[in-house]
């Protein structure tokens, strides 16, 4: 098997990718000799790094998030063989690094131990020695020696992709843009343009606007200040496609101002080039990541999501006065339903509220809505969000078909009726299942999540990683990193706090007379189960481990009525497993 696979490997291809004097193979075949997850980052998707070998050399790589499913499904693993279909080459202080944008696992070649004795692709130069620090570290990774944090200097960046426009030979996917990218051009659609905003403070005054940009790989926010605001505001039109070329500053995204799933954002500079593209059709119109209405109880407060539903009701416009600015704001409340059997109230504001004209029973998709716990769960469209009526997408067609076939006559449960379920109020108590019924009925294996109630007894709580240190900024709750004693850094807020607030993220085993199940839960349920806050528990663990152990012991052997969600986690075409999440609890009365 090894000799057969070796004959397919593109020997010398990795060296050619980084050497302009050599002819690089368009889609080289290499062997994966190591793969590891990157250290988790606040509020970001999981990322993986891998080492690929062409027998002559090996190179460290970082996988784009769209390739994550190959790792989590078990297809991409140590010893397998892959075809690199699209990638970006960078140099980071003596280390050659590939950003892998697209690859194919060649299952027919099987897998085997490392073939040959490949050498590292490393060069050093004066430019490398002068480079600054980066988060891409090779410490403890394949072929690396113990060393200090590497210093990056992007020497050149090239993207191999068959879809690059001839007039702009190097088109970067948005997913690949980072502070270490050098010369690049993206081709992206403007999906949202803000109004011009002004500010006045003791340091002066200014103005800005921002746009959301979209391509096949992802989205990114870009902002223009002052002169760039004057120059570019009228250039951008919502729905149009543009080429945007560096120089353009890439920086860590300020998540409090953006609803996009990207670690970075752009700031237009004086020499940034923006050109309207002639071909407007090869870039998607919009990119959604929908959360179903039935799943909202499992979504943390203040999270920004996308949602789609059938418009059941649209209220009249009304006006409220802001307590902070004393300015009036127009609003309109909508009621959406979907095929999970739930309804939710969604508020739109300003001109969107005044000009809203969707007919009842239309399918409406919202991008960038904020989740509130008011009335159980409710939604609010952000100023940076957008609304599309009857979008021509698969999810909308499915919802329309479901509603016409049966949804019009269905009765829906509002999230307000579940809001009392965390105390002693019974709440929604129908659909009780036993553990055996949950398994027999394969709950969670359908296209939509299953919600059910379960009366069971806690028999074991996993004590490892029972809580995480969270940011203390209001509404954040993201994980923080300890820099030094008394210094905890939140990358989302870009703030350092003297302490974190610990929040539960628990895994527990429960039992009834028919069997046992593992359930996961978050902070609200964890407090009810444990009887104390995660902060108090972690303090006990530091100062009185025996007392902390007694807290866990006291939490066992207690019977509760659980409100649960079962959902299948899919990666590519493969079903991975069913996750059972505990949403609410109420006492066994």
Question: Domain containing 529 — which CATH number?
Answer: 2.40.50.140
In this structure, the number of other CB atoms found within 10 A of the CB of residue 35 comes to 20
Question: Which residue from 89, 90, 86 is spatially nearest to 160, judged by alpha carbons?
Answer: 86
Our CA angle for 505, 508, 512, nearest 5°, is: 145
Which of the pair, 25 or 168, is modelled with greater confidence? 25
Provide the pLDDT for residue 36.
86
Same structural domain, 407 and 451: no
**Confidence at residue 583, expressed as pLDDT on a 0 to 100 scale:** 63
Angstrom distance (rounded) from CA 429 to CA 164: 56
Query: How does pLDDT run across 501-515, given as a tens digit for each residue?
Result: 999 988 888 988 888
Instruction: Tell me how long the chain is.
Output: 589
Rounded mean pLDDT of 454-474? 89
Domain identity same for 195 and 306: no
Determine, yes or no, domain membership for 485: no
Q: SS3 of 327, please?
A: coil
Tell me how many domains the chain contains.
Answer: 4
Give the pLDDT of residue 588. 47
The pair of three-digit structure tokens given for residue 131, joined into one six-digit string = 């480079």
**Same domain (yes/no): 459, 391:** no
More confident residue, 395 or 427: 395
Residue 395 has φ and ψ, to the nearest 5°, of: -60, -40
Residue 18 in domain = yes
491 within domain boundaries: no
- Whether residue 447 is found in the same domain as residue 581: yes
Of 9, 26, 8, the closest CA to residue 17 belongs to 26
- Whether residue 346 contacts residue 380, with contact meaning beta carbons closer than 8 Å, is answered with yes
Is 299 found in the same domain as 270? Answer: no
Q: CA 456 to CA 513: how far, in whole Å?
A: 8
Task: Give the up-direction half-sphere exposure of residue 245: CA atoms within 13 A in the CB hemisphere.
Answer: 13
Both tokens of 475, joined, read 């509404």
The answer on 302 and 272 residing in a single domain is: no
User: Where residue 31 falls among pLDDT bands split at 50, 70, 90?
Assistant: very high
The reply to whether 446 and 582 lie within a common domain is yes
- Residue identified by tokens 């992206």 is 188
Q: How far is CA 268 from CA 135, 153, 265, in A?
A: 24, 21, 10
370 and 447 co-located in one domain? no
Instruction: Look at residue 242 and tell me if it is in a domain.
Output: yes
**Residue 40: per-residue pLDDT:** 59
Same domain, 378 and 461: no
pLDDT of residue 422: 40
- Tell me, yes or no, whether 235 lies in a domain: yes
Q: Tell me whether residue 138 is in a domain.
A: no
CA 553 remoteness from chain centre: 36
- Whole-prediction pTM value? 0.43
Mean of the per-residue pLDDT values for the chain? 80
Domain boundary, last residue among 234, 249, 276: 276
**SS3 of residue 496 by DSSP:** strand
Give residue 256's pLDDT band: very low, low, confident or very high (50, 70, 90): low
Q: How far apart are CA 137 and CA 134, in angstroms?
A: 7
Residue 385 lies in a domain: yes
Lowest mean per-residue pLDDT among 35-44, 85-94, 443-452: 35-44
Does residue 161 or residue 432 have the better pLDDT? Answer: 432
Q: What is the pLDDT of residues 106-158, one digit of tens each?
A: 988 888 888 888 888 765 444 443 333 333 333 344 444 444 444 444 333 33
Residues 187 and 300 in one domain: no
Fill in the DSSP letter of residue 290. B
More confident residue, 179 or 20: 179
Looking at the structure, do residues 224 and 306 belong to the same domain, yes or no? no
CA distance 205 to 534: 44
Angle between helices 545-555 and 534-543 (to 10 degrees): 140
What integer pLDDT is reported at residue 341 of this predicted model? 86
pLDDT digits (tens, 9 = 90+) for 540-569: 988 888 898 899 988 988 888 888 888 776
* Residues 369/379, Cβ–Cβ less than 8 Å: yes
What mean pLDDT is predicted for residues 316-336? 85
Tell me the per-residue pLDDT of 46-84, one tens digit each, with 9 for 90 and over: 778 899 999 988 888 888 877 888 888 888 989 999 999
Distances (CA, A) of 61 to 74, 112, 136, 296, 365: 18, 20, 10, 36, 37
Among candidate residues 216, 245, 276, the one where a domain is terminated: 276
Whether 36 and 51 have beta carbons less than 8 Å apart is answered as no
Residue 162 lies in a domain: no
Last residue of a domain, one of 249, 276, 303: 276
Q: Would you give the DSSP letter of residue 448?
A: S
pLDDT in tens, 396-421: 999 999 999 888 888 888 876 554 44
> What are the strands, taking DSSP E only, across 93-184?
95-105, 119-120, 158-160, 171-172
**Range of 200's domain?**
174-276
pLDDT at 475 over 60: yes
Q: For 435-439, what is the mean pLDDT? A: 87
pLDDT at 268 over 90: yes
Same domain membership, residue 305 and residue 267: no
The pLDDT, as a whole number, for residue 3 is 67
């Amino acid at each position: 098997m090894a000799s057969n696979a070796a004959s397919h490997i593109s020997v010398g291809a990795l060296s050619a990718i980084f050497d302009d004097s050599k002819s690089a193979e368009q889609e080289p075949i290499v062997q994966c000799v190591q793969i590891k997850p990157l250290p988790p980052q606040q509020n970001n998707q999981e990322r993986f790094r891998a080492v690929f070998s062409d027998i002559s050399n090996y190179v460290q790589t970082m996988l784009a998030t769209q390739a994550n499913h190959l790792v989590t499904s078990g297809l991409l693993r140590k010893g397998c063989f892959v075809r690199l279909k699209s990638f970006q080459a960078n140099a980071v202080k003596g280390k050659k690094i590939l950003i892998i944008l697209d690859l194919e696992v060649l299952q027919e070649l099987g897998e085997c131990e490392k073939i040959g004795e490949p050498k590292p692709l490393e060069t050093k130069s004066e430019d490398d020695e002068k480079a600054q620090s980066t988060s891409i570290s090779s410490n403890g990774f394949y072929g690396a020696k113990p060393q200090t944090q590497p210093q990056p200097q992007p020497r050149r960046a090239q993207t191999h992709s068959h879809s690059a426009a001839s007039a702009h030979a190097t088109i970067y996917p948005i997913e690949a843009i980072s502070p270490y990218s050098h010369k690049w051009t993206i081709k992206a659609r403007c999906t949202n343009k803000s109004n011009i905003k002004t500010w006045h403070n003791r340091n002066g005054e200014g103005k800005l606007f921002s746009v959301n940009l979209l391509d096949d790989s992802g989205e990114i926010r870009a902002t223009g200040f002052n002169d760039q605001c004057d120059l570019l505001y009228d250039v951008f039109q919502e729905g149009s496609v543009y080429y945007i070329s560096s120089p353009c500053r890439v920086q860590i995204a300020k998540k409090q101002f953006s609803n996009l799933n990207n670690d970075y954002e752009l700031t237009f500079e004086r020499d940034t080039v923006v050109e309207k593209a002639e071909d407007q059709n090869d870039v998607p119109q919009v990119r959604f990541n929908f959360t179903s209405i039935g799943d909202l109880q499992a979504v943390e407060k203040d999270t920004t999501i996308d949602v789609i539903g059938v418009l059941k009701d649209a209220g009249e416009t009304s006006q409220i006065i802001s307590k902070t600015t004393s300015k009036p704001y127009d609003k309109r409340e909508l009621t959406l339903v979907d095929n999970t059997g739930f309804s939710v109230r969604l508020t739109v504001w300003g001109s969107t509220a005044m000009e809203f004209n969707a007919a009842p029973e239309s399918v409406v998709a919202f991008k960038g809505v904020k989740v509130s716990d008011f009335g159980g769960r409710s939604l609010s469209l952000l100023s940076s969000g957008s609304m599309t009526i009857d979008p021509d997408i698969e999810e909308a067609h499915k919802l329309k078909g479901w509603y016409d076939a049966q949804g019009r006559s269905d009765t829906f449960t509002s999230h307000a009726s579940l809001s009392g379920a965390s105390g002693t109020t019974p709440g929604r108590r129908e659909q009780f299942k036993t553990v055996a019924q949950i398994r027999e009925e394969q709950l969670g294996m359908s296209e939509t999540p299953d919600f059910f109630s379960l009366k069971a007894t806690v028999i074991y709580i996993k004590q490892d990683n029972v809580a995480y240190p969270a940011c203390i900024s209001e509404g954040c709750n993201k994980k923080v990193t300890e820099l030094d004693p008394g210094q905890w850094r939140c990358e989302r807020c870009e703030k350092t706090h003297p302490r974190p607030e610990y929040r539960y993220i628990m895994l527990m085993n429960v039992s009834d007379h028919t069997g046992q199940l593992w359930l996961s839960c978050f902070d609200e349920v964890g407090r009810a189960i444990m009887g104390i806050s995660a902060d108090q528990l972690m303090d006990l663990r530091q100062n009185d481990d025996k007392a902390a152990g007694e807290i866990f012991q006291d939490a066992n052997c207690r019977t509760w009525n659980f409100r649960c969600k079962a959902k299948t986690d899919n990666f590519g075409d493969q079903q991975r497993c069913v996750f059972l999440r505990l949403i609410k609890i109420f006492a066994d009365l």
